[in-house]
Structure 1
Amino acid sequence: MRVGLLTEGGYPYVSGEARLWCDRLVRGLGQHEFDIYALSRSERQEAQGWVELPSQVARVRTAPLWTVDDEALCAAGPRGGRGRRARRRFAECFGELADVVCRGDRDEVADRFSNALYGLAELARDEGGLVGALRSESAVRALESACRAPGALRAAHAARVPDLLAAVGLMERALRPLSLDWYESDGLGAVDLCHATSGGPAALPGLLAKHFAGVPLLVTEYGVQLRAHYLATDDRDLGAPARALLASFHGLLAAEVYRAATVVTPGNTHARRWQERCGADRAKLRTVHPGMEDGRFAEIGEGGYDDFAADPDTLLWVGRVEPAKDLISLLHAFAEIRDEVPAARLRIVGAPAEGPEDRAYLAHCRALAAQLFPDEAAGAHAVGDNPVSFEEIGGPDVPALADAYASAGVVVLSSVVEGFPISLVEAMFCGRATVSTDVGAVVEVIGGTGLVVPPRNPRALAEACTALLRDPERCARLGAAARARALELFTVEQNIAAFRSIYLEIVSHCPVRRDAVDEAGEPVPFAHPAEAYVPGRWAVAVGPAAGVEPGAAECGVGVGVPSWAVPDEAPAPGGVAERDQLKGAAV
């Protein structure tokens, strides 16, 4: 089948998020053809180029979310020269969108939001893009009127011009895919399945492909995009009214993505709970754990503790040094551990600090370690000379992560915020016992193979670590159980197998609305599953008893499949032509 892979700030860029996961997925499903539609987040990301793409990637199209300096992009849209009718259509659609955003109640305004969203999409298709219009004074005035209307959010009533400008600008970025020309018959309209690797803007092209061409949409979220937005708005210099408006907008967009998706695959139960609270239908949710490469840890895991544990009294922390990891609590806990286990050591192994905040936090942790262990010169880099060491991955003491795990008796995680705990899975592959705080997907990942304590509780953390350091046999038993669990749930193979099954299930239950042809325009036999040509509804019974109206044109797994006798309407050409780079093009 032909799959449109939708990404935001990710694959195929070298510095993209979820780059490894997407690359393994594409390579593991070599029987399918992939078209990649990527939204980039920064000029630096684009300048760094792409990863080496496998042969099954037939096409890559990209568009920026980080700039409006492109004159062609900015000039597009129903502005002064576009005609009175186009301006009136825009005013009606954006005014409706602004009104529902300012009201904020997803249950009451969901239909109005989707109507406004798809109305803007159709206007962009017909008139050539909306970037200029979405950033225009008329858009700001429409949002201001909605903020002042009865029934608007209390925070929206207080919005001033800076708040309105910030909200309109960030909403336009999220809606940038409306202005792209990706939905024509030789683009996303020609794929068999759209697979969005996150919610938010990445899933928006999938919504439009379904709206214009009936293409089914699969949404995968290993970190919930709406949650990431909530956390990101705290870091921006935005006023409370702007934050409230953006939170409402992204909440409505997330709800529409979950409503329109055929299947949603959260990476863990924590993400699944977020999605359900945001309106996702439980029947559409399939948990698919991230797949991680276990081969580099195989020798250590199979050898157990006897062959590789250089020091069973060593505690190991691995991750990115940042405030959310709460190394302050870990250092205070280690001070109590040293009172009970004088031979204990703590290795803090992290990636190089990137931003000024992370560097400042690392410096603060070093200073605290020196204060807690003044007579032992804590904070030095040499392993074995001091009870606490700060090391970087790839340095002389940690040439590879496997070497760090091999030296540890217990692996500890002290986070107060965590999504999917990668370091814990790596420790499990290595057969190491773990002590973790109860955040994010930690309990789901480790099951009963490690100890879990409340976050921000140094004493509880110290007691759990001390209990394991004093009982090596228990550590060995927990480590063996952890490795068995990780090999069963978190390998690349299980991840690829799950998506292979989901792809086939979605396509086999969805109608085929187009003929498959080759480059010469000749029909391609057997390009679509045989079930797709069986007329009528054959998936499940439909009707009032099944909760589906007899004439409902729905397409989904476990839902009655309608007839596809209605012919397609090819979308009118329009939009702004982004870079269309075929496989093998220079980056």
Structure 2
Amino acid sequence: MRIGLVTEGGYPYASGDGTLWCERLVRGLGQHEFDLYALSRSRRQEEDGWVPLPRQVGRVRTAPLWGTEDTGARHGRRARRRFAEYYGELAAVLCATGTAGQTGRAGQTGRVGRTGRAGQGAPAAWGARGGRAVWAGQDGTGPAGRSDDEADRFAYALYGLAELARDTGGGLAGALRSESAVRALEHACRAPGAHREAREARVPDLLGVAVHLEHALRPLTLDWYGDDGLGAADLCHTAGGGTAALPGLLARHFCDVPLLVTEYGAPLRAHHLAATAARTAPAVRSLLAAFHARLAAEVYRQAAVITHGNAHTRRWQERCGADRARLRTVPPGMDATPFAEAGEAGGGAGASGARGVGGTGGSGGAGARTRAHGADTLVWTGRVEPAKDLVSLLHAFAEVRWEHPGARLRIVATAAPDGHEAADYLAHCKALAAQLFPYEAEGPHTVGENPVAFEEVGGPEVPALADAYASGAVVVLSSVVEGFPSGLVEAMFSGCATVSTDVGAVVEVIGGTGLVVPPRNPRALGEACVALLRDPERRARLGAAARARALELFTVERNIAAFHSIYLEVVSRCPVRRVVLDDSGAPLPFAAPAESHLAGPPGFPGPPDRRTGPATRHPGTAAPGPSVAAPARTAPSWAAAAPGRTPTRRPATEAAR
């Protein structure tokens, strides 16, 4: 089948979020064709270029979400009236207090933000009139005014703007940043029934909201939704919610392409945290939160299947209105190969007590078990930042040293501190470690050393991350905020016993193969570590069970197999109905048989290789790195259209007759 994969700030760019799992997914499903639709977040990301693309990637189309785009298009009176109507309805929904009927859309006169009574008739439904989205009563005979359902009002405004952008050739960016947009926001904020934060919005706040909405709604202006884009896909898979899912929504709206949404985090939660960290004004934060919440609800309502990586993300999805029947749990796939040697050797250095020696020996590989004091060493790995709560870990280690004087702690950073806040936090932790644990020496003629070591992956002591896990008896996770604990899964691959705080998806990942304590509780964390340091047999049992659980649930192969099954499920339940006509207007059955997109036995001619032509990129996007061109493939003769006929896609309205 042909998959339209939509990403935001990720694959195929070399830098970004979710690049690794998307690349593994595309490479692992070689029996399918992939068309990539990438939204970039910065000029630097585009200048960094792309990762090498596999053979099954047909084409790549990119668009920026950064900078200012204005095609200079000038709209006529009718287009301006339609824009005022749709944008005014969008603003009214964002400013509504949540009670149906308090604010509403004006009638079909085009006046923005006028309040009135909600329709008292039958529930509203979608209809079409002259190529435009309109409200219709239950009988579909005419407009029914406004709907009590704010979700439907938001959808009306969103799809109305999308249809306006398509009718005007995509020239909507200027209108979204225009004075008319700001006036519509101001009118909605001053209308009766607007919530308190919206009423307090000032002109600078409204300008900021308009700019953010223009960036978030920029996918409406793209030309990705025709027969030469997402409309030709059998399935649209969006690697994220929010703005990344907007192209999938429009492909669903215009071309009836089924939508699959994958979220390995909570976009709405991330937006709230980012707005709080940026010290955004309360009015701006409230209006943007309302927009992202409404967009998430519409994405979940239209998606055929919604996947998540853990129960924490699933709870956010359900809170935003996702139907439980459409939710699927697909844990992120991680590569277990780098940790195979450590895991097969029987866990960390102290997993077998005083034995402390692995199968290979030495000091450079993941199987090295001869590091000093390995059986008494605690290991922490990850990015050094306040959310990891290393302060509590250091205080917990003080409890461990009191009960187990020979214990040592290795804090291994997987990356350099990102920003001044992380660097200051690392310096604070080092100062606290020096204060809590002064340098100690074993005798009067030996050099003293601190039992706490701060190291980085790639240094002389830790050449690779697997070496860190192999050198310790217990791996500790002390976070107060955590999504999917990838470091914990790596420790499980290595066969290590673990002590973790009960945050995020930790309990779901660890199961019963490790100890879990409350967050911000140094005494409980220290007692759990001491219990494992004193019981090597228990460490060995927990490490073996953790490795077996990780290999069963969290491998790349398991992730790819799950998505392959979901692809087949979605396409079988929601097939795209395409009616092809010949030059005389008669239906042309079997013009594009399903066999033309199926992988056959070795030597069987597959679908044509569409990578021979140049990929469609935004002008500011750097070209991908050099790669070896794949040999061209041709479709079988029976899969081609009959000679002398020009297949065209029949409009959806005609196909329904």
Partner secondary structure for residue 4 of structure 1: strand
Equivalent position of 2:182 in the other structure: 140
Equivalent position of 2:576 in the other structure: 512
Matched residues in 1 for 2:4 and 2:619: separation? 16
Q: Tell me which of 414, 417, 440 is aligned to 2:481.
A: 417
On the 8 A contact 1:262/1:284 being kept in 2, the answer is yes
Matched residues in 2 for 1:62 and 1:357: separation? 33
Matched residues in 2 for 1:59 and 1:516: separation? 23
On the 8 A contact 1:62/1:580 being kept in 2, the answer is no
1:206 paired with 2:248, answer yes
On the 8 A contact 1:207/1:217 being kept in 2, the answer is yes
1:525 paired with 2:593, answer yes
1:267 paired with 2:309, answer yes
Matched residues in 2 for 1:62 and 1:33: separation? 18
Equivalent position of 2:142 in the other structure: none
* Structure 1 counterpart of 2:161, one-letter code: L
Q: Tell me which of 153, 165, 168 is aligned to 1:112.
A: 153
On the 8 A contact 2:258/2:575 being kept in 1, the answer is no
* Structure 1 counterpart of 2:10, one-letter code: G
Deviations 1:183-206 (A, max 9, x none): 121001111100001001110000
1:61 paired with 2:61, answer yes
Matched residues in 1 for 2:519 and 2:534: separation? 22
1:334 paired with 2:410, answer no
Q: Tell me which of 91, 98, 108 is aligned to 2:91.
A: 98
On the 8 A contact 1:129/1:179 being kept in 2, the answer is yes
Partner secondary structure for residue 279 of structure 1: coil
Equivalent position of 2:461 in the other structure: 397
Equivalent position of 2:122 in the other structure: none
Matched residues in 2 for 1:176 and 1:106: separation? 29
* Structure 2 counterpart of 1:17, one-letter code: D
- Name which of structure 1's ranges 352-361 and 100-109 shifts more when overlaid on structure 2: 100-109
**1:24-39 equivalent positions in 2, closer than 5 A:** 24-39=24-39
On the 8 A contact 2:50/2:624 being kept in 1, the answer is no
Matched residues in 2 for 1:584 and 1:170: separation? 30
Matched residues in 2 for 1:497 and 1:250: separation? 31
Q: Tell me which of 352, 358, 368 is aligned to 2:432.
A: 368
**1:39-54 equivalent positions in 2, closer than 5 A:** 39-54=39-54
On the 8 A contact 2:42/2:66 being kept in 1, the answer is yes
Unpaired segments ≥5 residues, structure 2:
101-148, 353-357, 359-366, 442-447, 582-589, 599-615, 628-657
Partner secondary structure for residue 410 of structure 2: strand
1:164 paired with 2:206, answer yes
* Structure 1 counterpart of 2:51, one-letter code: V
Change (3 A) 1:289 1:577: closer
Change (3 A) 1:185 1:582: farther
Equivalent position of 2:381 in the other structure: 318
1:75 paired with 2:71, answer yes
Displacement of 1:586 in angstroms is: 6.3
Change (3 A) 1:161 1:466: same
Partner secondary structure for residue 6 of structure 1: strand
Equivalent position of 2:502 in the other structure: 438
* Structure 2 counterpart of 1:34, one-letter code: F
On the 8 A contact 1:103/1:152 being kept in 2, the answer is yes
* Structure 2 counterpart of 1:255, one-letter code: A
Displacement of 1:240 in angstroms is: 0.8
Equivalent position of 1:553 in the other structure: none
Matched residues in 2 for 1:122 and 1:527: separation? 34
- Name which of structure 1's ranges 307-316 and 275-284 shifts more when overlaid on structure 2: 307-316
**1:216-295 equivalent positions in 2, closer than 5 A:** 216-295=258-337
On the 8 A contact 2:166/2:221 being kept in 1, the answer is yes
Change (3 A) 1:141 1:581: closer
Larger gyration radius, structure 1 or structure 2: 2
* Structure 2 counterpart of 1:173, one-letter code: H
Partner secondary structure for residue 203 of structure 1: helix
Change (3 A) 1:446 1:266: same
Deviations 1:226-273 (A, max 9, x none): 111111111224111111111111000000010010000011111101
- Name which of structure 1's ranges 414-423 and 156-165 shifts more when overlaid on structure 2: 156-165
Equivalent position of 1:20 in the other structure: 20
Q: Tell me which of 112, 124, 147 is aligned to 2:165.
A: 124
Equivalent position of 2:611 in the other structure: none
Matched residues in 1 for 2:456 and 2:292: separation? 37
Q: Tell me which of 468, 471, 486 is aligned to 1:407.
A: 471
Unpaired segments ≥5 residues, structure 1:
378-383, 531-575
| Identity percentage of aligned residues | 70
On the 8 A contact 1:198/1:222 being kept in 2, the answer is yes
Deviations 1:89-121 (A, max 9, x none): 000000000000111539841000011000000
Q: TM-score, normalised by structure 1?
A: 0.86
1:458 paired with 2:525, answer no
Partner secondary structure for residue 59 of structure 1: strand
Displacement of 1:578 in angstroms is: 4.0
Aligned length: 526
Displacement of 1:146 in angstroms is: 0.9
Matched residues in 1 for 2:580 and 2:57: separation? 18
Partner secondary structure for residue 318 of structure 1: strand
Change (3 A) 1:358 1:329: same
